[in-house]
Chains A and B, each alone.
Chain A
């Protein structure tokens, strides 16, 4: 991994990541609760994917 690019890259991400592009196209109300629900389900999915990857790593270790 090339560390020279990671630091400025993450700085950029930190700066620009905090600006969400203003949604000029939306006209319906997304609903605050609906946003939260997606975050919850999204986190579960993220955890599920992480778990799956972790499980695959363990399996590989045992197969060696």
Chain B
């Protein structure tokens, strides 16, 4: 993440809205700066045992007071540091169950907060990250005193979490991509219009989406007097949100969901490929491995013995299947290498692009480049140029045109892919990479390469 930064410490790009604190990043830590205007509630969260309970349950990222940073400012109360998240990911990159678990975690935290006289002052999905295969709340300044009033973050919760999950479950799983354009959650009127009318039989969706959307419109820009809402009523609302979300399930099937039932390997070749990858990975040296086109993480699992893995695939169902295996060293991500997540928000930089976040690591490109070439039209030279920017080491599979999967890709179209030959591939990779090892997989038309970036 830090290859692009010349300073050791830099302020988080999204950390400007909250008046109570902000975040500073360094190579291996996250620093949370707590301002004096937050002292009272922060101390209450500590003294009441709220933080202790949330840390014990691993709901919130643990924090320790830090005296390493010297910041000249009168309004700073204290500085804390937290363990660095291996890879910062965003809700539009999460699969259905990842978003669902993040939503349920937020509600669990809110319930515990209320029991300690505290309430979440915001319920943004950006408060959550994934570490060790599960969601965790990272923000220390999201708390306020609970005063038996309606939940201030209810709207945000519905727009970030409930609405998106309803769209994914009831309409189309790919609709979470709308979060790219709606950085503060999907407007409820859009969700209400898109989800099927059958959802009116569901009390939760009718209240929190349909009715909510209508009433939002009616009271837009209108001033209302302050209201009181009793504790049992708020807890009832949270319970209702929880059971509505638990009831949402993923129904869809996609193209790649059953990929591994249906590939080109006989058992012997599959075993050989796995062995080669185990050998190759030992010769690489990176904190992280990024597995592109990982499907349900079959090969991510193999390399995760020695590293943490970011397991990227374009198919939201495959990524969800990956996530449901709950492997602590694997972070599944929905991503399209031909159109990776862009930078969004203020100055297109509040939430950074995928390529900015991914840095330079060991990359796997197994059974991938023929798809990028033939289906997505990306010339081999351009593919390798990208890999040279993001890979210290690259384990890449070249599949020639005699392979049945490539034949299938070309069956109904003209073969205009004249650059796609092994000879050309070898020439191109030799520009930026050194070939440490290569091996044809038994009698198949597939060759595995272990490459080292010459510019490491």
Contact = CB atoms under 8 A, between A and B. Distances in A.
B212 A28 contact: no
Interface residues of B, number: 47
The interface size bin for chain A is 20 to 34
5 contacts: A17-B228, A32-B223, A36-B219, A42-B230, A42-B234
Given A27-B18, A31-B216, A37-B212, A45 B233 contact: yes
Contacts, number: 112
B157 to A, nearest CB: 10
A45 B156 contact: no
- Most-contacted residue by chain A among B144, B147, B150, B234 (CB, 10 A): B150
- Most-contacted residue by chain B among A39, A41, A46 (CB, 10 A): A41
A32 B20 CA distance: 24
A38 B229 contact: yes
Interface stretch (A3-11, A18-26, A55-63): A18-26
A12 B317 CA distance: 57
A41 B230 contact: no
B240 A41 contact: yes
Nearest to A34: B155
Nearest to B237: A41
- Most-contacted residue by chain B among A35, A40, A43, A45 (CB, 10 A): A35
Contact of B147 (A20, A32, A45): A20
Interface of B: 17-20, 37-38, 41, 121-122, 143-145, 147, 149-156, 158, 207-208, 211-212, 215-224, 226-230, 232-234, 236-237, 240
B149 A20 contact: yes
A40 B236 CA distance: 12
- Most-contacted residue by chain B among A20, A23, A25, A36 (CB, 10 A): A25
Contact of B224 (A24, A36, A43): A36
A31 B217 CA distance: 10
Nearest to B229: A42
B44 to A, nearest CB: 11
Contacts of B150: 30, 34-35, 38-39, 42
B33 to A, nearest CB: 16
Contacts of A42: 150, 229-230, 233-234, 236-237
Contacts of A28: 121-122, 152-153, 156
A47 B295 CA distance: 49
Nearest to B211: A37
Nearest to A21: B147
A39 to B, nearest CB: 6
A17 B212 CA distance: 27
Given A20-B149, A21-B147, A41-B207, A34 B212 contact: yes
Given A24-B37, A25-B144, A39-B227, A34 B216 contact: yes
B237 A45 contact: yes
A17 B73 CA distance: 38
A46 B241 CA distance: 16
- Most-contacted residue by chain B among A23, A37, A46 (CB, 10 A): A37
A41 to B, nearest CB: 5
Contacts of A51: none
Contacts of B19: 27
